[in-house]
């Protein structure tokens, strides 16, 4: 399956279990892999045969910078759902949400979740 990658999209959101996270917010990085057939887009050179990367960014931004979630698992699930709802040509997507400033006692580079969801027919 052909793939489109959007790597390390950076946002500021208010997700977490602790009140400070919901009040102060923190950085989040999101990677998205879109699976679809890109043959027609490659041959025709027409955007209508592909997926608009800017719109993918916008949908992701709306989720991460919108409503607060307790878990980054819920952030990832919501992003995947929105992508699959908005792009009928999308066969599947992989979403990774990275939380580099997770409030964990100790040294850690980041906490992340990654999910894979397919289009339901």
Which residues are the active-site residues? 99
| Cβ–Cβ < 8 Å for 61, 78 | no
Backbone dihedral region for residue 21 (phi beyond 0: left; psi -120 to 50: alpha; all else: beta) = alpha
Q: Are 25 and 10 in contact (CB under 8 A)?
A: no
């Amino acid at each position: 399956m052909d793939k489109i990658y959007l790597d390390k999209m950076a946002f500021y959101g208010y997700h977490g279990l602790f009140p400070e996270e919901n009040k102060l917010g923190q950085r989040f990085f999101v990677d998205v892999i879109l699976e679809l057939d890109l043959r027609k887009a490659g041959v025709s050179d027409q955007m209508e045969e592909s997926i608009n990367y800017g719109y993918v960014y916008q949908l992701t931004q709306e989720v991460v910078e919108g409503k607060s979630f307790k878990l980054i698992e819920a952030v990832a699930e919501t992003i995947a759902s929105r992508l699959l709802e908005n792009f009928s040509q999308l066969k599947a997507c992989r979403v990774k949400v990275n939380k580099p400033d997770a409030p964990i006692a100790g040294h850690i580079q980041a906490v992340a979740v990654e999910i894979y969801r397919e289009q339901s027919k």
